[in-house]
Every structure is written in C-alpha cells, then in structure tokens.
C-alpha cells in the first residue's frame, strides 16, 4: 500500500468495471442527442478520460476548474471559477463529470451556472458519492459508488495536490499534518 493511505477502498478493477457500466447507461440515454461531457478539474480528469473512451457516441469534451478546498480536507463552501468552458453549450445536453460529490455545494453552483447558458439539459455523473456529507439537495444521475464520510484520495482525487496518480481509491491516513474530512 502507498505511504499515507490507511486502507484501500476501491480497486482499479472495480472502478474500471463500474465505469464501463455507467458508460453503457450514458450511451443508451444520450443516443441521437448532442452530448457535451464537462469535466470538473482537476479531480475528474482521470475518470472523465476513462469514461469518455467507454461511451459509444460522438461527443464533445470540455472542462471547468473550480476551487473550494484549497489545501484543507473540508470544502470551504466558497466556489471560485478558475477555468470556464471553451465550448458553446446552448441547446446541447451537458453531462457534468465529477470525481466526488461531497457537500454538493460546488455542483449545485456549477449546475445553476450551466443552466443559465441554455443547454437542453444538465445532468451529473460522479465516480464517488458521499451521501452522509451532503448539505444541499442534488440529483446525481449516474453514480459509481457511495463511499463513507472519510477523506479519500487516488484516481484523480487529491490531498494538497498529492495522490491523484494512484490507480485506486484509498482512505487517507488520519495524521497530525493532514487529517481526514
């Protein structure tokens, strides 16, 4: 196990199998529609890449970058747009792809911002969901896994910009210098 990881939570194989299942659902649901997958940077880049390769549709991909954590393990609740979309989404179906839904504050803000731009629809796809941490009502249309209210890293998720490269999801150690969320 990697240094700083208390326990593995999801293996590469489990993530890959569930990603393929989600891609089948997305392919079925968006057939004959104009789909734009919007990845939330930085955390969703690994999941979005794997998911997009499994979706059997023509689609466009774009990214938004937001900041709400800084170097803490808990969301500040303040959302700052760091990178906005490059693509026009008016009249298109937007699938917002996120690594993890925690409090829901960031995604609630992003979905409202995107809806103001006149897309045909906006839905959420997340690899991980922490239902016990939710502070707002939010529908996650495609969800990979529900996870406990622990701070998880790997497969794109980070703590202070570390651990994103891990091919699995693990629980961060509860250590004096970092802690868990």
102 carries an active-site annotation: yes
User: Rounded CA gap, 2 and 167, in Å?
Assistant: 11
Find out whether 38 and 86 touch, Cβ atoms under 8 Å: no
d(CA 139, CA 132): 14
Q: For 131-165, b where at least 16 C-beta lie within 10 A, e where not — what string?
A: eebbeeebebbbbbeebeebbbbbbbbbbeeebbe
Among residues 50, 99, 102, 158, which one is catalytic? Answer: 102
Point out the residues that are catalytic: 102
């Amino acid at each position: 196990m990697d240094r700083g990881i208390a326990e593995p939570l999801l293996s590469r194989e489990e993530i890959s199998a569930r990603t393929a299942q989600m891609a089948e659902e997305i392919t079925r649901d968006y057939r004959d529609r104009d789909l734009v997958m919007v990845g939330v940077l930085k955390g969703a880049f690994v999941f979005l890449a794997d998911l997009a390769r499994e979706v059997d549709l023509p689609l466009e991909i774009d990214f938004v970058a937001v900041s709400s954590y800084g170097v803490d393990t808990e969301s500040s609740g303040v959302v700052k747009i760091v990178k906005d979309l490059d693509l026009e989404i008016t009249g298109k179906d937007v699938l917002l792809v996120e690594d993890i839904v925690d409090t829901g504050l960031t995604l609630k803000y992003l979905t409202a911002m995107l809806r103001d731009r006149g897309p045909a629809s906006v839905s959420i796809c997340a690899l991980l969901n922490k239902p016990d941490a939710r502070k707002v009502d939010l529908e996650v249309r495609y969800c990979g896994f529900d996870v406990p209210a622990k701070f998880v890293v790997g497969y794109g998720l980070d703590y202070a910009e570390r651990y994103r490269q891990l091919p699995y999801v693990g629980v961060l150690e509860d250590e004096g210098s970092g802690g868990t969320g």
